[in-house]
A and B are shown apart, each in its own frame.
Chain A
């Protein structure tokens, strides 16, 4: 008998080699997110709550900030267990997600799910896939031709991304619905070298992101808003 191989290690190898590591089926994360949202609403969290509350013990990850705010923290420590992260932090976090998605859309060779400069092709494509119907307008005359549309995942939900071009630059316009929320802090206008603009219209929140210069992005936003009003 081979004394070097104990039964335990041999069996361990067999199990590790052949045993299934099951992975969560697609969609489970989304369903859980929806259930959590429902549970949160039942507990009084506003829908799409912009600010979040981080339990104090998580302050470790925020150590530099925590040190700076040690005085405040001391009050929090003595009075309770939670530490409120501001709505401004949330907007900055969202801005990071938007930029990351923009970069990914160009790296991954997956800029559009529906490639068409025809707004009458792109708009119906979103129908049934999302809980909103974003205004799709072609701005070719204004120098921002429509490239297409894509489903994306941002802010923990599937959202619409409209893709426009300006000269050699790509502009991603993210649209999702957000009921309520009211005033939110202005997100950074520039992040990691990308320009960002955010606005709201009715229940829809819009984020435009691109490496075009700020003035051109401002112009794009004006043109889009003007044209969308006409739809």
Chain B
């Protein structure tokens, strides 16, 4: 099949979103080299399937292709990480909620290294919504389109992701205080 558009035109449209594409791929693969492979693969796919793009939000469409390419990459290389969100027991992972407010201490004590380790440790379905919402500042609607789930699911995943992060942060602070 023919893409019907010149590569030059596609580049003009797609390259301005390269950082966003790379950031998403980097957080999903957690590795520079693999992120590059995924982004290259995604851009090639997007070019080939561009004729099928009928929406209005090109960035969201492109990021959906990037996410799909990253998922395919994980399926091939780290299938164990691709656990459906429904199978993840957030309550068990978060443990007993304590009465203190971990966010306040995290605000004071967390550093870049710790926070990035916390995000990287999230299960994929939660990690991706956190990255898209907090680091890429996409709208709920865009995230829903990219992750192929309803907006309500995006919001609940985000809430559960924050609970997981809070629990992980609390654990890490405790270890660093007593360790």
Give min CB distance, A63 to chain B, whole Å. Answer: 15
Give min CB distance, B121 to chain A, whole Å. Answer: 13
Is A19 interfacial (CB 8 A cutoff)? yes
Q: What 0/1 readout, one digit per residue, does chain B (76-100) give for beta carbons within 8 Å of chain A?
A: 0000000000000000000000010
Q: Which residues of A contact B23 (CB under 8 A)?
A: 21-23
CA distance A97 to B15 in the complex (A): 17
| Known contacts A19-B115, A24-B39, A51 near B159 by CB under 8 Å | no
CA distance A43 to B166 in the complex (A): 51
CA distance A59 to B20 in the complex (A): 25
Q: What 0/1 readout, one digit per residue, does chain B (95-115) give for beta carbons within 8 Å of chain A?
A: 000010111101100111011
| Known contacts A20-B116, A22-B35, A24-B19, A33 near B9 by CB under 8 Å | no
Is A55 interfacial (CB 8 A cutoff)? yes
- Tell me whether B115 and A53 are in contact (CB under 8 A): no
| Known contacts A24-B18, A36-B43, A1 near B101 by CB under 8 Å | yes
Is B72 interfacial (CB 8 A cutoff)? no
CA distance A17 to B10 in the complex (A): 34
| Known contacts A10-B104, A11-B165, A55-B4, A22 near B44 by CB under 8 Å | no
CA distance A12 to B115 in the complex (A): 11
CA distance A122 to B163 in the complex (A): 61
Q: Which residues of B contact A15 (CB under 8 A)?
A: 115, 119, 130, 134-135, 165
- Please, which residue of chain A has its CB at the minimum distance from the CB of B6? A52
- Tell me whether A18 and B47 are in contact (CB under 8 A): no
Of the candidates A11, A16, A45, which one forms a contact with B6 in the assembled complex, judged by CB atoms under 8 Å apart?
A45
Q: What 0/1 readout, one digit per residue, does chain B (124-147) give for beta carbons within 8 Å of chain A?
A: 000000110011100000000000
Q: Which residues of B contact A36 (CB under 8 A)?
A: 7, 10-11, 43-44, 47
- Tell me whether B119 and A45 are in contact (CB under 8 A): no
Q: What 0/1 readout, one digit per residue, does chain A (114-148) give for beta carbons within 8 Å of chain B?
A: 00000000000000000000000000000000000
- Please, which residue of chain A has its CB at the minimum distance from the CB of B47? A36
Is B5 interfacial (CB 8 A cutoff)? yes
Is A156 interfacial (CB 8 A cutoff)? yes
Is B73 interfacial (CB 8 A cutoff)? no
- Tell me whether A52 and B5 are in contact (CB under 8 A): yes
Is A109 interfacial (CB 8 A cutoff)? no
Q: Which residues of B contact A10 (CB under 8 A)?
A: 101, 103-104, 106-107
Q: Which residues of B contact A2 (CB under 8 A)?
A: 101, 104
Is A190 interfacial (CB 8 A cutoff)? no
CA distance A46 to B170 in the complex (A): 59
B binding-site residues for A, Cβ under 8 Å: 2-11, 15, 18-19, 21-23, 26-27, 32, 35-36, 39-40, 43-44, 47-48, 50-51, 54, 99, 101-104, 106-107, 110-112, 114-116, 119, 130-131, 134-136, 158-159, 162-163, 165-166, 169
Can you list 26 A-B pairs with a CB-CB distance of less than 8 A? Answer: A1-B99, A5-B101, A7-B166, A8-B159, A11-B162, A11-B166, A14-B115, A14-B165, A14-B169, A16-B134, A18-B114, A19-B135, A23-B22, A25-B32, A28-B36, A32-B43, A35-B40, A36-B43, A36-B47, A39-B48, A53-B5, A53-B9, A54-B9, A55-B4, A55-B5, A82-B4
Q: Please list the 3 inter-chain residue pairs (A to B) with the smallest Cβ-Cβ separation, ordered nearest first.
A: A10-B103, A18-B115, A52-B6
Q: A14-B107, A22-B23, A40-B3 are in contact. List 16 more A-B contacts (CB 8 A).
A: A5-B103, A13-B107, A14-B165, A19-B135, A20-B135, A24-B19, A25-B22, A32-B15, A35-B44, A36-B47, A39-B7, A44-B2, A54-B5, A55-B4, A55-B50, A156-B8
